[in-house]
Structure 1
Amino acid sequence: MGFEEPDVTGMQAYADELRRTFLRLQEEGGELHRQARAIEVTEKSRDGLISATVGARGELVRLDIDPRIYRHPDARHLADSITDTVHRAADKARQRVLDVFEPLIPADQMRAHLDGDLETVMAQLADQMAGKEKRRGPA
């Protein structure tokens, strides 16, 4: 059994890419973070009677319920409609966060970070270091 020779050139290129990305994060990261934190998305229910506003992390910021909803009281339908509306707003907010960071962090990597998916993050890092995944340099 022999050891595979490391791809020193590939590892150096990846290290250079990480350095450039880090420097860009230092320069632009604060502004991108500010933009991401300021994201709020408002979504209306399919019947238009519920309006939910969420922040960048999908947290509910505001919920408005049109009084006409009480004309046909159905607690289960109301709860389902609120949940669906909040989830759709949270999905849009998450996509906006991905869009804000896209110039520096590929969406699939950022998505794994946001999901707390350490296994995927580590696999992506290992693939990049091994030269298995196409790297993209900073714009």
Structure 2
Amino acid sequence: MTEHRAQVEELLAGYRRSRDQLAAVHRELSSVTASASDADGLITATVGPRGTLTNLVIADSAYRRYRPAELAEQIVRVTGAATVRALARAGEVLAPALPSETDPQALLLGTADLEAREIAPPQRKPQVDEDSYEDQNWIRERAR
């Protein structure tokens, strides 16, 4: 019985180490942030680990420089750039906890090991309406 008990204790210790590592990775992932700014530094977006906008700083001069649509476009652009940085950092944090063949970026994006063709929306086949007379010719040729 003591050998069996030692194996159980060893398994439990391994489980606890794995849980501790997972908790540490989770804490580090939740603290990931990234920022990006436009070329002039008038707009700065900061995002969290999943690309969620957490802070947006717009200089007063940005309102004079950009029209509303241009300002919105710049905000979207810098937020996207910050998201790319945050996902890269999150991938670096996650990589050591994953099996070596796992792509952390793909996992974070929700695609895991799926190929593009596997996640593409299915192409719809055109439905044939059996009651449709659209392609029928109703004008009969005269008999010659």
In which range does the TM-score fall when normalised by the shorter chain? 0.5 to 0.7
The CA deviation string for residues 61-119 of structure 1, in whole angstroms up to 9 with x for no partner, is 01110001122341222111111100010110001110011212248532222222256
**Aligned-pair distance for 1:31?**
0.5
Partner of 1:26: 19
- RMSD value over aligned CA atoms? 2.5
Percent identity over the alignment?
29
Structure having the larger proportion of residues in helix: 1
TM-score (norm 1): 0.63
- SS where residue 102 of structure 1 aligns? helix
TM-score (norm 2): 0.61
Matched, 1:120 2:121: no
Q: Write out aligned runs for 1:1-139 (5 A).
A: 23=15, 25-105=18-98, 106=100, 108-117=102-111, 120=114
Q: How many residues align?
A: 101
Gaps of 5+ in 1: 1-18, 122-139
The CA deviation string for residues 29-63 of structure 1, in whole angstroms up to 9 with x for no partner, is 10011001011112111221001110001000011
Instruction: Identify which of structures 1 and 2 has the higher relative contact order when contacts are C-alpha pairs closer than 8 Å and 6+ apart.
Output: 1
